[in-house]
Chain A
């Protein structure tokens, strides 16, 4: 195996897959209630990634569908059905585009319960808290 250096590669910025994994963890907040974090002022980017149906099928059970549906709706990326549809090729392609190819370059994620703001800068979400918030 041979590796090549960086110039032609693009950076990895926060995918909606990662957003689907992040929760508010401020002390005494109710993370289940505030999940998913609301994305504010997003600069979105779509980057192409190779589609692998097996990879996507294996990813489906690890996603929180309700949270993904809410986020996709809020970002105007489409109305997903309330129940996760059957894993047809077409559905997996849609999901691939949504969770792996859609990235948040900048903006913030806001907790709807405690209103904490987690900034996203250069595609990296900042989940660190102040000492008195832990």
Chain B
């Protein structure tokens, strides 16, 4: 079992960032449950030290597997990013993209405290600034979105998309999800297929109110993705789930 990351570095940032809770822990469990898929499909080629006979560097030798790119949208505390690094390993590049400057700083601090070797933080709205370059290159995409159904006022107060002029983005952006809690999810979903590498997978936290069945249907019919409910759990009044989306295979 992979331990929960050390979150001591998170303390100075509370309560301005999302403190890991039941939804976070369900995501960790779902990722760990999918560890085989994450490790075998995203592990880079073995290092010469690990191989029985060290392979000399050959210019013409194409890499067996490209170095994995792992992106978490809205990392908040950085807990999931650090957990993924422990799960998949340090030979991958990790990016956390968050709108909240304090969440960016917290993610960086927690990643550093947990010895994530290659991680960077970008302050941004979803993957907007990286989408073109990350196109077809993301091997693992993770999003624990603001999924709580809220009215328009609460959503506006959470300063969503591009509202840098309404002041710093605060903690409400971590949970306020608009109608059916789907506003942010539905903004990201159409871009997922283009971001994922051929072996890529997208992990999404949902609640019952997000209508997971409808998400699955839209994934198949509109977003060109193969959906699967990976894990479900009831936490108090919340019916939580983690969905996994992959490319539709030709087989």
Contacts and interface: CB of A to CB of B under 8 A. Distances in A.
- Asked if A and B bind, the verdict is yes
Interface residues of B, number: 60
A52 to B, nearest CB: 6
A75 interface: no
Contacts of A22: 122, 129-130, 133
A9 interface: yes
A9 B113 contact: yes
Given A9-B113, A124-B123, A125-B123, A17 B93 contact: yes
B184 interface: no
Interface string A91-134: 01000000010000000000000000010001111111111011
A124 B122 contact: yes
B113 A128 contact: no
Given A59-B67, A128-B123, A129-B164, A23 B86 contact: no
Contacts of B116: 12
Nearest to B160: A131
Contact of A12 (B63, B91, B121, B123): B121
Given A5-B9, A23-B133, A124-B104, A52 B47 contact: yes
Interface in A52-84: 52-62, 64
A89 B56 CA distance: 10
Given A23-B133, A25-B129, A86-B59, A55 B67 contact: yes
Given A3-B114, A6-B8, A49-B118, A130 B67 contact: no
B6 A5 contact: yes
Contact of A15 (B46, B66, B105, B120): B120
A54 B48 contact: yes
Contacts of A89: 57
A124 B101 CA distance: 9
Contacts of A6: 8-9, 109, 112-113
A54 B125 CA distance: 32
A79 B118 CA distance: 25
B236 interface: no
Interface string A12-40: 11110110111111000001100100000
Given A54-B48, A62-B69, A125-B123, A134 B161 contact: yes
A120 B113 CA distance: 22
A105 B2 CA distance: 32
B248 interface: no
A131 B121 CA distance: 22
A91 B230 CA distance: 42
Contacts of A32: 132
A119 B57 CA distance: 39
Contact of B112 (A9, A49, A60, A127): A9
A6 B13 CA distance: 14
B115 interface: yes
Contact of B44 (A17, A25, A58, A134): A58
5 contacts: A57-B63, A88-B57, A124-B108, A127-B123, A131-B162
| Interchain residue pairs A-B with the least CB separation, the first 5 | A86-B59, A58-B67, A127-B129, A134-B162, A127-B124
Interface of A: 1, 3-6, 9-15, 17-18, 20-25, 31-32, 35, 49-50, 52-62, 64, 86-89, 92, 100, 118, 122-131, 133-134
